[in-house]
Amino acid sequence: MIGLSDQVYTPTGSTIETFSGLYFDYLNPQVNSIRIEDIAHGLSNICRFAGHCHQYYSVAQHSLLVSQQVPSEYALAALLHDASEAYMLDIPRPLKHLPFFQPYRDLEARVMDIIAQKYGFVLPANPCIKDADERMLCTEKRDLMGPDEWDFGVSPYDFRITGWLPSEAKYQFLQRFHQLIS
């Protein structure tokens, strides 16, 4: 892990300051600008479904739950499968997949490449992560959204989801991360 004094660049018009005080440059993302504490903090403060769920439910909690549904060798990659959103936000799927969002998707892929490099997992992700992500989306819809049915082509998980406060989601996300890397 790097210290704040180890950062090699200064803020520009294409950077944001992260929770830890590092600068993240969208035009030149670097491995040394990624910290798990920033990822956990950012994801825990981003509500899924553009905030339109019946209770607060963070991307951090979603990611942790997905990581618990895959074989152990893919759990870290599953925990971090949405980590770019800590820097870029969670864009609703229908909007993100519109043609004019291609540059956003390209940048998101670059950021995920940097995160994968930092934490030592392989992209593209194993298909079991996408499968778990889809089933989790189905489960989230059932437990956190309205009663209308969406056609997912998969069944929800047997457990029920209750949203955590951001502080709990951040804590649990970091606990899971440290469990997986030890």
Structural domain that includes position 105: 4-181
User: What six digits make up the tokens of 19?
Assistant: 């929770």
| pLDDT of 178 above 90 | yes
pLDDT at position 45 is: 98
pLDDT at position 5 is: 47
pLDDT interval class at 6 (50, 70, 90): low
Task: Give CA–CA dist 3/90, Å, rounded.
Answer: 28
DSSP 22-86: -EEESSS--GGG--HHHHHHHHHT-BSGGG-SSS--BHHHHHHHHHTTS-GGGHHHHHTTTTTHH
Give the CATH number, domain containing residue 160.
Answer: 1.10.3210.10
**120-151 pLDDT per residue, tens:** 999 999 999 999 999 999 999 999 997 777 77
| pLDDT of 1 above 50 | no
pLDDT interval class at 8 (50, 70, 90): low
| pLDDT of 12 above 90 | no
- CA distances 182 to 112, 146, 178, 179, Å, are 22, 39, 6, 6
Number of domains in the chain: 1
Other C-beta atoms closer than 10 Å to the C-beta of 31 total 12
Write phi, then psi, for 58 (nearest 5 degrees): -90, 160
For 15, the 3-state DSSP assignment is strand
DSSP single-letter state for residue 107: H
Helix axes 36-44, 166-181, angle to 10 degrees: 150
pLDDT at position 138 is: 93
